[in-house]
Amino acid sequence: MKTSYRGLEVVELPPSGQGIVALMALNIFKHREVTERSADYYHTMFEAMKMAFADGMHHVTDPAHMAVDPAALLAESYGRKRFDQISDQAELHSPDDPFAGGTVYLACADKDGNMVSMIQSNYMGFGSGIVVKDTGIALHNRGADFKLDETHINCLAPGKKTYHTIIPGMLLRDGACCGVFGVMGAYMQPQGHFQVISNLADFHLNPQMALDAPRWQWNREKTFLVEEGFDPKIIRELEARGHEIKIEPDRTHFGRGQVILKLDNGVYAAGTESRTDSNLAAY
């Protein structure tokens, strides 16, 4: 699935994964003009993220069991509708009609312009504990994300795929791939995608700067975690709007990302995560 954002096409895996949550957040936020990293900028991002998660947790499951067409959640008119619901105060959002992990993300590109965005996770440690005979490959246990509430859209059912967090991303410009990206970290993933894409498209940062910029994470209700180094003035202004801001010293809470961009001259620019073990390699 994809949505447009500041001249880019942002591509994510479709449901039952949570890639659509990042796309919904971008689809809401793009209606705001961005000139600086102000309290208004972060406030709107916070509210858009909460709205996107509210809709995602309510609607997303195996596409064969979804009551709403995923495309409808990404409609321009719906993004605008949700944006118009954002006030200047922090609010709790209902669906309209959360964080570390052992995930591995890899981005690669070759001289011919081929790009791969890949992410892998067994969910809990060794996953299900079931290993494919003669391979050593452990199968995941993503089914743990199913709900047992029969009224919930993501309720456990035979042959059904659950809402899951694994979402490698891709960028297109004029229909051609111009970048691959990902941010590991369970429910931090769409939040990381949202922030990194804004850094790239709104502030025109290079991949490394886009990854290094201070991050936030929606924790629950009106509570957001922010990294040390966040502008204290902005924190005070956000708190005045009703957001509950907590400074989290452990940077691994904020996802671990990688980005490769193909520049207009065909040269690749890449960034790697400073918050964890990470590396760049060229050949």
Helix (H) or strand (E) holding 82: helix 76-84
Contacting residues for 263 by C-beta, under 8 A, at least 6 apart: 269
Among candidate residues 230, 93, 83, 189, the one with its CA nearest the CA of residue 197 = 189
Amino acid at 248: E
Beta strands in 66-114 (DSSP E): 104-109
Instruction: Pick the catalytic residue from 103, 162, 165, 272.
Output: 103
CB atoms within 10 A of CB 163: 22
Contacting residues for 28 by C-beta, under 8 A, at least 6 apart: 48, 51, 52, 79, 82, 83, 86
Would residue 103 show up in a list of annotated catalytic residues for this protein?
yes
Query: Which residue numbers are catalytic?
Result: 103
